[in-house]
Amino acid sequence: MNTKAFQTGVKSLASRAVGQSNISASSLAGYPIPLPPLPEQERIVAELDAEAARLEAVRGLLPAFEATIQRTLARVWGTATGD
């Protein structure tokens, strides 16, 4: 949508008024949105799925890290309970 051709096409839908342009929703609804080929879309989705899985794995580590931090702080501040 950042291509010159797309932007030129969308701008051609604009009606001009005093100092302001307007594109009606009905005009824009019929304008084709370019999409990458299906294999590229599938590759992008696979990358996003893999990234989401990595993010969940990291989120799963947070409780253990938080517990380690709390134990370390307790030991440093002399409030450790011997766990």
Q: Examine the domain organization and report whether 28 and 59 are in the same domain.
A: no
Q: What is the pLDDT of residue 2?
A: 79
Q: Examine the domain organization and report whether 39 and 76 are in the same domain.
A: yes
Model pLDDT for residues 12-71, shown as the tens digit of each residue: 888 777 777 777 888 888 888 889 999 999 999 999 999 999 999 999 999 999 999 999
3-state secondary structure 6-65: HHHHHHHCCEEECCEEECCHHHHHCCCCCCCCHHHHHHHHHHHHHHHHHHHHHHHHHHHH
Q: Examine the domain organization and report whether 28 and 41 are in the same domain.
A: no
Q: Examine the domain organization and report whether 3 and 20 are in the same domain.
A: yes
For residue 80, what pLDDT band results from cuts at 50, 70 and 90?
Answer: low
Query: 0.75 exceeded by the pTM?
Result: no
Q: What is the pLDDT of residue 15?
A: 79
Q: What is the pLDDT of residue 5?
A: 86
